[in-house]
């Protein structure tokens, strides 16, 4: 069949409506980008139709609405035909997206060890699925990963799509995105959520590009509006505003969410569900990449800031790198980890992997102690979901106090040593050590 020839939308040309010009001083002439307007001796425009490109600038600038865009009868017919086609196209889009149903969560794992963010997403996905009245499903891809299906049920999924095979043993963008695109095209979920981890960010971008759908990265809030669209909220413009983004015309609606942003779903090992087993014939020889060796991140073991239950975090108010020692002491007493603000990283006092916030880690500890941190929005988005926030700041108007559960207005160099001494004293009473600490502000 011969392909329908694409017809260009007519732009028309500018036309002076007789009797309306007020000779304002040639504003239309000075605004014309094509030099298509001359003025006559009454101060009225004369349009050069060979030069006019129908850009409408003169029409818009005219203070007397004396100019309009003129279309020939032939052009008017084309415009009328085009106007008729537009609703049909909109209807087609509407019908197309209605075929998509269900909320899917991608279960991220490393050689079968699941990433907690997947279970956090199942918790959030359950709320979305309930509002929409659809099924909550998870997507498990890997090698010998069937145990993750049962775990998905325990965290709330009622159906799992599973692709299991040796070619999926290690994560590779090519194999995983092909498998997920295949499942999405076949089963058509309306929402697909993934963790905003290194793997999730890589994979989500590839999938959204292949499926030509929208993707909102690093969401901090998800909800459903009255029309059933997924409301994807995330910080924008350097974290100064929260933007809510909708994917109206394409499916699935895709979002990534950082670990620790959503609450972990409640695990119930007695839950069961349905496993849909699929296979994909991907041959090793046809792949561009091969995993030769996996080298573990050396910093991972010693510092798991994202997983720490207690975080003692320092900002510019700590005044220097040497003073982070006392934060480490406090963290050690409490069995926690030390974090920091970006100001501390930028000053070279702390390494970037300790930074909490929009461009650092998102944390959700049981206790977050913010020491000498003002509470800029970019810091707050990374820690405000902590169960208990204790803020120590000498400025009682510091924004950190707005999110704090307990606020201590005071000098960190007095408050922190006092806290350490107090904890040690309490421990000593219970039979631990009772060294006294001395701290000094440089």
Ligand X SMILES: Cc1cc2nc3c(=O)[nH]c(=O)nc-3n(C[C@H](O)[C@H](O)[C@H](O)COP(=O)(O)OP(=O)(O)OC[C@H]3O[C@@H](n4cnc5c(N)ncnc54)[C@H](O)[C@@H]3O)c2cc1C
Q: Answer yes or no whether residue 342 interacts with ligand X by CB under 6 A.
A: yes
Query: C-beta of 204: minimal distance to ligand X in Å?
Result: 21
Considering the complex, what minimum distance in angstroms separates the CB of residue 416 from ligand X? 9
Interface residue with ligand X among 373, 389, 390, 391 (CB under 6 A) is 373
Q: Binding of ligand X at residue 315 (CB under 6 A)?
A: yes
118 vs 393, beta carbon nearer ligand X: 393
| Of 170-178, 257-265, 266-274, 358-366: span binding ligand X (CB under 6 A) | 358-366
Q: Is 382 in the site for ligand X (CB under 6 A)?
A: yes
Using DSSP bridges, classify how beta strands 215-219 and 136-142 pair: parallel, antiparallel or unpaired. Answer: unpaired
Give the interface segment with ligand X, choosing from 9-17, 133-141, 376-384, 429-437 (CB under 6 A): 376-384
CB atoms closer than 10 angstroms to residue 181: 15
Helix (H) or strand (E) holding 324: helix 324-334
Helix (H, G, I), strand (E, B) or coil at 348: coil
Q: Which window, 83-91, 95-103, 131-139, 350-358, contacts ligand X (CB under 6 A)? A: 350-358
Query: 172 or 379: whose CB is closer to ligand X?
Result: 379
- Alpha-carbon distance of 127 to 173, in angstroms, equals 29
The reply on whether position 359 binds ligand X by CB under 6 A is: yes
What CA–CA distance (Å, rounded) separates 234 from 241? Answer: 9
Shortest Cβ 399–ligand X spacing (Å) = 8
Taking CB atoms within 8 Å and a gap of at least 24, the contacts of 71-75 are: 71/10, 71/12, 72/10, 75/10, 75/12
Contact 194, 200 (CB under 8 A): yes
In terms of CB distance, is 230 or 400 closer to ligand X?
A: 400
- Residue 369 near residue 311, CB atoms below 8 Å: yes
**In this chain, which of 48, 116, 173, 378 binds ligand X, going by CB under 6 A?**
378
- Say whether residue 384 binds ligand X (CB under 6 A): no
146 binds ligand X (CB under 6 A): no
Q: Which is nearer to ligand X, 168 or 401 (CB)?
A: 401
| Nearer Cβ to ligand X (152/358) | 358
Nearest C-alpha neighbor of 236 from the set 226, 247, 244: 244
Residues 240/125, Cβ–Cβ less than 8 Å:
no
Q: How far is the CA of 98 from the CAs of 86, 87, 102, 238, in angstroms?
A: 19, 16, 11, 35
x-or-dash string of contact with ligand X, 256-295, rule CB under 6 A: ----------------------------------------
| 123 in contact with ligand X (CB under 6 A) | no
Q: Does 238 bind ligand X (CB under 6 A)?
A: yes
Query: What is the distance between the alpha carbons of residues 201 and 119, in angstroms, rounded to a whole number?
Result: 17
Is residue 383 close enough to count as binding ligand X by CB under 6 A? Answer: no
DSSP 248: -
Task: Choose between 112 and 351: whose C-beta lies nearer to ligand X.
Answer: 351
Nearer to ligand X, 368 or 413 (CB): 413
Tell me how far, at minimum, the Cβ of 240 lies from ligand X, in Å.
Answer: 8
Does the protein bind ligand X through residue 343 (CB under 6 A)? Answer: yes
Rule CB under 6 A: say whether 339 interacts with ligand X: no
Alpha carbons 351 and 305: distance in angstroms, whole number: 12
Rounded distance between C-alpha atoms, residue 41 and residue 34, angstroms = 21
Rg, the chain, Cα only: 30
Alpha-carbon separation of residue 50 from 44, 122, 177, 286 (angstroms): 18, 62, 52, 57
According to CB under 6 A, which one of 118, 175, 220, 355 is a site residue for ligand X?
355
Instruction: Decide if residue 369 touches ligand X (CB under 6 A).
Output: no
**Residue 317 found at the interface with ligand X (CB under 6 A):** yes
User: Can you tell me which of 12, 372, 407, 417 binds ligand X, judged by CB under 6 A?
Assistant: 372
Stretch that binds ligand X, among 57-65, 127-135, 206-214, 354-362 (CB under 6 A): 354-362
Is the bond preceding 252 in cis, omega lying within 30 degrees of 0? yes
Alpha carbon 312 to its chain centroid, in Å, reads 26
Spatial CA neighbour of 367 closest among 345, 340, 335, 344: 335
Which one of 60-68, 212-220, 269-277, 353-361 is the stretch in contact with ligand X (CB under 6 A)? 353-361
Looking at residue 317, what DSSP letter applies? G
Indicate which single residue of 34, 91, 395, 402 sits in contact with ligand X (rule: CB under 6 A): 395
How far apart (Å, rounded) are the C-alpha atoms in residues 278 and 275? 9
Output the six-digit token pair for 385. Answer: 């979901």
Query: Of the ranges 61-69, 128-136, 176-184, 357-365, which one interacts with ligand X (CB under 6 A)?
Result: 357-365
| Residues at the site binding ligand X, with contacts judged by CB under 6 A | 238-239, 315-317, 341-344, 355, 357-360, 372-374, 376, 378-379, 382, 392-395, 398, 411-413
């Amino acid at each position: 069949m011969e392909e329908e020839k694409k017809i260009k939308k007519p732009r028309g040309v500018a036309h002076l409506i007789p009797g309306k010009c007020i000779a304002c001083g040639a504003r239309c002439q000075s605004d014309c980008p094509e030099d298509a307007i001359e003025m006559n001796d009454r101060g009225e425009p004369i349009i050069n139709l060979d030069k006019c490109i129908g850009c409408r600038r003169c029409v818009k600038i005219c203070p007397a609405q004396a100019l309009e865009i003129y279309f020939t009868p032939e052009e008017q017919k084309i415009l009328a035909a085009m106007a008729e086609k537009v609703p049909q196209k909109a209807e087609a889009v509407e019908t197309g997206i209605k075929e998509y149903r269900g909320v899917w969560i991608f279960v991220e794992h490393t050689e079968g060890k699941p990433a907690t963010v997947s279970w956090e997403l199942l918790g959030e996905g359950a709320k979305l699925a309930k509002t929409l009245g659809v099924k909550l499903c998870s997507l498990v891809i890997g090698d010998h990963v069937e145990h993750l299906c049962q775990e998905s049920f325990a965290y709330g999924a009622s159906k799992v799509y599973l692709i299991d095979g040796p070619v999926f043993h290690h994560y590779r963008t090519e194999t995983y995105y092909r498998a997920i695109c295949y499942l999405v095209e076949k089963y058509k979920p309306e929402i697909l959520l993934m963790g905003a981890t290194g793997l999730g960010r890589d994979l989500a971008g590839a999938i959204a590009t292949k499926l030509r759908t929208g993707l909102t990265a690093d969401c901090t809030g998800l909800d459903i509006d009255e029309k059933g669209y997924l409301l994807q909220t995330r910080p924008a413009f350097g974290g100064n505003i929260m933007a809510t983004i909708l994917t109206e015309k394409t499916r699935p609606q895709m979002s990534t969410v950082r670990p620790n942003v959503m609450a972990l779903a409640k695990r119930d090992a007695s839950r069961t569900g349905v496993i849909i087993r699929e296979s994909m014939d991907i041959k090793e020889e046809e792949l561009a990449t091969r995993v030769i060796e996996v080298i573990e991140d050396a910093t991972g073991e010693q510092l798991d800031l994202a997983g720490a239950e207690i975080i003692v975090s320092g900002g510019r108010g700590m005044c220097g790198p040497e003073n982070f020692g006392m934060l480490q002491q406090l963290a050690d007493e409490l069995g926690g980890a030390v974090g920091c603000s970006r100001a501390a990283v930028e000053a070279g006092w702390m390494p970037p992997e300790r930074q909490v916030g929009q461009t650092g880690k998102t944390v959700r500890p049981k206790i977050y102690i913010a020491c000498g941190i003002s509470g800029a929005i970019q810091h707050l988005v990374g820690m405000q979901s902590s169960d208990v926030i204790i803020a120590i700041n000498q400025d009682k108007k510091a924004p950190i106090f707005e999110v704090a559960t307990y606020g201590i207005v005071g000098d960190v160099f007095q408050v922190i040593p006092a806290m350490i001494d107090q904890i040690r004293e309490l421990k000593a009473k219970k039979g631990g050590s009772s060294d006294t600490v001395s701290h000094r502000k440089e």
